[in-house]
């Protein structure tokens, strides 16, 4: 992908090409990754659900829920038995999420 960002997004899952063309969340994620620096690779699993990992391939694949709130892309990453979570399980700013996710995966190496 051309642009400022170093992140990427992969189109898999869902109900086919027609559903992805109408997916405003996926379009917002593609635009975000083209314009902002983010060292994550996102893999679409379903509308609003993505697996993510570092762009350099280090670290494992994790799950995040994305949504548009007031036309702004937001992320929710909930705590589990193995992860401490982020933003108390609430939707938060995508810039903050990218920084958090990159930092957590750096700590695991």
Query: What pLDDT score was predicted for residue 59?
Result: 66
State pLDDT tens for residues 9-44. 765 544 555 555 578 999 999 999 999 989 899 999
Helices (H) and strands (E) in the chain, counts: 3, 6
| 78-106 pLDDT per residue, tens | 877 777 788 988 999 999 999 998 887 66
Distance CA 68, CA 50 (A): 14
Question: Cβ neighbours of residue 49 under 8 Å, at least 6 residues apart?
Answer: 63, 64, 65, 66
């Amino acid at each position: 992908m051309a642009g400022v960002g170093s992140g990427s997004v992969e189109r898999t899952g869902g109900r086919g090409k027609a559903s992805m063309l109408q997916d405003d969340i996926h379009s917002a994620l593609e635009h975000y990754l083209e314009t902002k620096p983010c060292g994550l690779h996102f893999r679409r699993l379903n509308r609003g659900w993505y697996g993510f990992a570092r762009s350099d391939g280090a670290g494992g694949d994790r799950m995040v829920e994305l949504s548009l709130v007031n036309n702004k892309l937001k992320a929710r990453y909930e705590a589990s038995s193995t992860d401490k979570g982020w933003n108390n399980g609430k939707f938060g700013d995508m810039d903050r999420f990218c920084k958090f996710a990159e930092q957590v995966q750096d700590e695991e190496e």
